[in-house]
Amino acid sequence: MALDPESLPDHPTPLLTQEAITARVADLAAQIRADYASTRDLHMVCVLKGAFVFFSDLVRALDRRVTLDFIVVSSYQKATRSSGEVRLVKDLDTGIEGRDVIIVEDIVDTGLTLTYLQEILRARGPRSLKTACLLSKPSRRKVEVPVDYVGFTIEDRFVIGYGLDYAEIYRNLPYIGVLDEG
Ligand code: IMP
């Protein structure tokens, strides 16, 4: 699906409201807080750009001590389908050896991006490595990849907003909307 940026709606059809997202993020935060109750240091890794809104809400909802870092990968160009190629654009600033790490990603679609990230980060010897994704589209999976915390499981729709983009548009939309016809 390739869309003309000029004809994109300003307010796409909502799929998940702000209220639903806030409630679910609070659930995930509670689950993570419980799972890491006896862990002194928890290191949260934000996968840019798509996860930036989810990440900022999730880490603030955690209500515990954390350290943060950011990694940039790119897999999608100006299209709504993955090219299947994952590229590391900006690496973490600090090492993760011996640390308890949670990767925070916007959406797991084919699973290729997350597989790549888990592989390169696991190779650095963290004490533990888990993944939190706001959204999952299981019907699109090309590779099975473990995701420990999933916000919402959705159908095969192209979604935007709450950090997710189409051609860099819509990242600031406060809800998750759909661009395709469904
Ligand atoms: P995967 O490697 O196919 O799992 O894709 C992961 C990346 O593709 C995500 O981090 C998103 O940036 C992007 N992506 C996948 N599906 C969507 C979508 O529906 N809307 C916006 N971006 C998407």
pLDDT tens for each residue of 126-164: 999 999 999 999 999 999 999 999 999 999 999 999 999
Q: What is the pTM of this model?
A: 0.94
pLDDT in tens, 37-49: 999 999 999 999 9
- pLDDT range class, residue 3, cuts 50, 70, 90: confident
CATH class of the domain comprising 5-179? alpha beta
Residues involved in catalysis: 109
Q: What angle do CA 24, 29, 31 make, to 5 degrees?
A: 95
Nearest residue CA, atom 19 of ligand 1?
158
Distance 39 CA to ligand 1 centre (A): 31
Between 134 and 182, where is the model more confident? Answer: 134
Rounded to 5 degrees, φ, ψ at 10 are: -75, -30
C-beta separation of 44 from 66 below 8 A: yes
Residues written for the chain: 182
- pLDDT range class, residue 83, cuts 50, 70, 90: low
